[in-house]
Amino acid sequence: MMTDLATTVSDERKRKRMVSNRESARRSRMKKQQHLEELVGEVARLESENAQSEMHANLLTERYSKVEAENAVLRAAAAQLAERLKSANKYLSLFEVVRGVKMDIEEIPDPFLSPWLPVCTALLNQCNC
């Protein structure tokens, strides 16, 4: 009888431990599933954010290319105008020599022809301050 009681108590403990272990494993699986779902959601969010960033970068690259093209056109136009101004100044100088008429021909300051100099520095250099 004593052994039957000990066996019954032992069997009851095993059964309780087995139920407890099953419940613990179920909680562990649920926690793992929840974590996996959170990671899948984060992956989707990051992929969406990445796509938006890529679209924004492409848009900025396109805008940059357009600005570069416009700048090239403007630089060419500025160079052409500077050349025309030099030519006009040469004609005026020649006119001054041939006619003997004193003409005050000032160089027109153009800081945009020297873009690597800040505008105020270019102007200061031209006024001999």
Residues 13-48 pLDDT 10s: 999 999 999 999 999 999 999 999 999 999 999 999
Q: What is the pLDDT of residue 98?
A: 82
Of 19-28, 58-67, 113-122, where does mean pLDDT reach its minimum? 113-122
Helix (H) or strand (E) holding 106, with range, is none
CA distance 10 to 22: 18
Q: What is the pLDDT of residue 33?
A: 97
Whole-structure pTM value: 0.52
Residues 6+ apart with CB under 8 A from 22: none
The answer, yes or no, to whether residue 112 has pLDDT greater than 60, is: no
